[in-house]
Each structure stands twice: as C-alpha cells, then as structure tokens.
A = this chain, B = another copy of it.
C-alpha cells in the first residue's frame, strides 16, 4: 500500500499536469499509472524520470519498442519488483507480445539467473577472446 497519496490529475500543479499530459499524448492513453501518480509527489523527480524514460523508450531508437519492454521486464523480474514486472509485461503486450514470446522471455530470464550463479560458484575467469570481441564492437 503506497506510502504517498496518488496525485489527483484534476488538481495537479501545472508542472505535474504538463508531464501527465505528455504521458497521455506520447502513449496515447487516457489514464496515468500509479507509478507516475505517486512520483508526482516530487515534481522535479517526475519531470526528470519521465523525460529520461521518454527518451530511452522512444520508438525512434535502434531497438524496437517490444524488445525494449522485454529488456525492462527482464530487469524487473531479476530485481523482484512485482509492480514493474506486471506493468512492463502489460506494455509489452501492447507492443505486440505473444504468449510464445512471453514464455521464451521468462525461460531466458530463469536460465540467465541460473548460469550467472554457476559462474560465480565456480569463479569462472573471463575468456580473453570473448572480452576482446565484446569490446571490439
């Protein structure tokens, strides 16, 4: 249960209202999610966070919107954030996620968490050739 009041759109101060309007316009939605309603208790944080998120998740990037949401979900699951997992799975669905893709996403996230820990347990050394190749991008 939230530790702050959700800011009422109708009574939001102008700078908050401006962000809310931009969220609705950018996402073509009619309601604002609880995350933004909560964050609006700190208008400067709301502006900063929305501005960064809008730029990072922009459909104009080199990664398509669905891929971006899959990455967001992968992080959210790994951090155990229920809100973020649910809300970004919803966003992924809106961007076209299929059931099969959702299942693959979850399987990869599970597998990665497993091998991450096997690597740590055996204390595996980075292969110089892999490092060079990754760094040579």
Write out, one digit per residue, whether chain A residues 93-122 have a CB within 8 A of any chain B CB (1) or not (0). 110011111111111111111111111111
Interface size for chain A: under 10, 10 to 19, 20 to 34, or 35 or more residues?
Answer: 35 or more
Q: How many copies does the complex hold?
A: 6
Nearest opposing residue in chain B for A99, CB measure: B137
The DSSP consensus for interface residues of chain A is helix
Q: Is the CB of A110 within 8 A of B104?
A: no
Q: Is the CB of A122 within 8 A of B106?
A: yes
Contacts of A18 in B (CB 8 A): none
Given contacts A45-B106, A56-B111, contact A116 B84 (CB under 8 A): yes
How far apart sit A72 and B74, CA to CA, in the bound complex (Å)?
8
Task: Say which residue of B4, B121, B127 sits within 8 Å of A122 (CB atoms).
Answer: B4
